[in-house]
Amino acid sequence: MAGEPYGELSRMSRECLFCGAAGPRILTNEDVSPVWLLKHLDLSGDDLFFQGVASSATGKLLQRLIHASWSFNQGSVCSTCNNGWMTGLESAAKPILEPLIDKRRPLLGLAPAEAAIVGKWG
């Protein structure tokens, strides 16, 4: 990749972030914030999402990005991961998260297995 200033980044962007699968048209657009959550939070169509990138060494904020909440996608996940384990994890997390968001259930009332699901999802 010598001579390509973003060689490593572009190589990584063609592979699934999770399983490393690569190939033409293998990657899908994954919603960073799931549509069910945006609807549940009753966010307006022009809602914005802040993303900060910080150095793990210094804690210094290196990059500030603003995204449209309803169209913030990430295209580095293969369809097998996106439609497989990721969908399964989200389906398991949703019924745990909704009562937490609505304050119908306390966070400290989660069973260890529920906390593990939410931790993996988030």
| Dist CA 18 CA 82 (whole Å) | 10
- Output phi, psi for 58, to 5 deg: -110, -20
Least Å distance, CB 26 to Zn ion, is 8
- The correct pick among 38, 78, 93, 97 for binding Zn ion (CB under 5 A) is 78
Residue indicated by tokens 């802040």:
50
Least Å distance, CB 93 to Zn ion, is 19
The answer to whether 27 contacts Zn ion (rule: CB under 5 A) is no
Kindly tell me the burial class for residue 10, based on how many C-beta atoms sit within 10 Å of its own C-beta (0-12, 13-18, 19 or more).
exposed
The answer to whether 19 contacts Zn ion (rule: CB under 5 A) is yes
Least Å distance, CB 112 to Zn ion, is 28
Footprint on this chain of Zn ion (rule: CB under 5 A): 16, 18-19, 21, 78, 81
